[in-house]
Amino acid sequence: GAVVSQHPSRVICKSGTSVKIECRSLDFQATTMFWYRQFPKQSLMLMATSNEGSKATYEQGVEKDKFLINHASLTLSTLTVTSAHPEDSSFYICSARQGAYYGYTFGSGTRLTVV
């Protein structure tokens, strides 16, 4: 079956630094990848949609200069949290779609803690 690998699974960074999260589709080509953020005891909130080779589309209220998304190939998308602050601490999850409308596969998530 389709597998999406997300790395790192946990990261702790200092306030003001940047951190990069990678999302890879291991056995399929993902024309579209999605990035979600999840706070404790809450649902997944879509941050942005990225299509290979084009700029990401951000949801309302998500700062595109703070959350940089790059989707340079059909198997890799990255999310960079720039100038991280403690309020950015959250669980970040990526999802990849296999071209069809409904074939979504999720990564295992990244727990970001900003201290």
Query: Applying CB under 8 A, which residues contact other proteins?
Result: 4, 6, 34, 41-46, 49, 57, 91, 93, 95, 97, 101-102, 104-109, 111
Residue 52 or 82: which CB sits closer to other proteins? 52
* Closest among 81, 76, 67, 65 to 31, alpha carbons compared: 76
**Nearest approach, Cβ of 50 to other proteins (angstroms)?**
12
**Nearest approach, Cβ of 51 to other proteins (angstroms)?**
9
Q: Tokens in use for 44?
A: 């997944």
Tally Cβ neighbours within 10 Å of residue 29: 12
Residue 16 or 64: which CB sits closer to other proteins? 64
Report yes or no: 94 and 107 within 8 Å, Cβ to Cβ.
yes
Residue that is written with structure tokens 């720039």 in the block: 82
**Nearest approach, Cβ of 54 to other proteins (angstroms)?**
13
Residue 71 or 97: which CB sits closer to other proteins? 97
**Nearest approach, Cβ of 40 to other proteins (angstroms)?**
8
Report yes or no: 99 and 31 within 8 Å, Cβ to Cβ.
yes
Q: Tokens in use for 108?
A: 């295992």
